[in-house]
Structure 1
């Protein structure tokens, strides 16, 4: 698997713990640093803000209240573009974990951790920070009729307690719609916690969602709060809900019906107080197929349905999005301000954007880095190549088996990814499994090849 370019900082006073995490994460990520004392944080932040920080919540021996770590968390969240933060603690203290989430941490991990769980949490944090690079308002930027309808739905449903299901293709901003609902709700001061259901193995589903008690199974060395407990009082966002196995769907349905969960190894259930917002890229035909998704669970989740339109259905918003992201990356990379050539704008507005806003954002970042002319040209965006632009009136060609004329590694890789996406019907998690990649790695390759 190719290395990511993400910058990861591990802030932990235990050198052995920090080194163990560093060795694990260096297999996937090119720049992983450690810091034992928060006193050195200011100098590091002055040079560059990391993409992800793994933050221990206790530094002074004997202290377990987490106050030191929470102060560091506040400093990190005050940065102009704050890093994604994953809280680390050796104590399975649910109130402390919830407080860290309320103050801006995106996830928490208890020590000792499961390597796969930690790696997945870091990958998810990188993806979330990239997705929120332009901020919530930019993700919903535009005044097209289709987007106005989405914003009106958000405004109507947010003050209620109704469960919401967000439908849409990959890259349209389903999580950002969920965050907008939370921000405008009565639960806004509490936690918003996102869970990628496609990345939760069926074997650990109950532990991840409902928690477990120490000694409940071989590796349960400490109590662990589940996602329902960690999001108490707030919003639990269940992303990629359509990828859940039917057996896991049954367990989720029981929790929602009873409004309680029982941690593995516990002798009594715990009441839950969360609002559920879910999302899927499944089309309605598959969503209503009982062999794919339980109808009784669907009816629990889709009290309100918000359909987020793909970018090709709101082309009037494309010029504003291009201007926003080009300006954002010009500032971030300290590159000169350039105008967008009229011909380039025309072609970009006609592009099919199969990766939607996410693909547009990656294309703008690429253009800012690579542009060498006074104006941005279409070629700077890295969209030309195999399976070139599809205009609004043209239908996409099906993936072709690579022939001798396309025996380059890049061409073969692109054709293979296109074939996997076609077979998976656009389902990123399924396509990633077919290709033997993580979701984050597949997203990077989609950006590389201009999907």
Structure 2
């Protein structure tokens, strides 16, 4: 019987040559293997990714390997797991895929040796029909949705740092796209914490002067410090710094509704808002629409005309309920970029508490709470015990109901009672002398007699 010939190379060679995308990653999230099927699918070479660490944070930028790596983060549980992922290829193509993770258990030969990192093999396949899809972790679904949204926002608006899925935020993104394409001064209007500075930075990062410095100025600081800072910004630079990052590219006046009126006049007259290669982009951030601030006298009309050419209104967090899970996921992924642990989501009871909370601090409070919970968590989910004191204090404040308000009494009855009490106190202090009582009440003596008679307090005493 003829002897079978064995294919040279064995399993490693087969995996390397197959068109089926296969990769291996360990519990440190280091990519160990990336076959030709993966290279063909993603456009990235194995040499670009092997040895790199995957972080559970999407950017939406197809030109950096971190965007692809974020989809390859392995599960925590040592069991077969399915992740729904969004793959952004190197040329910007958006792919909806499923990764089946299989743990590769090591053979324990010597218990005295340090345990090696756990490894997973990942199989990337197209998603099957919805009815046949295996259960997918909610965290991986949110990660995939956020990655897809960021890729779409980058394609449409050249921005991916902003979550914009609802109609109000889509309108904001259209205005932002217009703002990026021109040099007109911008006014961002919205409650404190709605992300005005974040959006201003995003506009600057997408503009032609993105390599230059973004300068935020808090108009609430002390008058002396504010005067020094604004004087330096208005003064022409003696020499243009040779390094672009040292040049001013954009200035954001935060809390501009607190800017003193004399500075509003001076900036209206002196700031050069014309476009040019060396021009500075001016922006302001306020808490109310500009027309209301003009009506209240907080801002001068001429200041708003100059610095509010394009007015962008940001909705509050409560007006974005459909985006809330994606905003939470974005906050988690931002926290993941600061280091371990890599958090994949929230426990069910934390989701419940987040949904019931009013978030008075808006987006800033949400991101701060998740950042602190991330630092306290052991992973992979943020639990109730990880939530910071600021959140628990906010919950307690919202569980205390408003002070009880008594029923309103008829006005005439209330006025008569108060008048009676005041007249009686005056008569007591005067020892019943009506002339002195009238002086204490600041009314003429005849008027006091009329009020005594009207209230039924007149007697036949000798107080005259």
Smaller-chain TM-score bracket: 0.3 to 0.5
Report the TM-score, using the length of structure 1 for normalisation.
0.45
Higher relative contact order (CA 8 A, sep 6+): 1
Greater Rg over alpha carbons, structure: 2
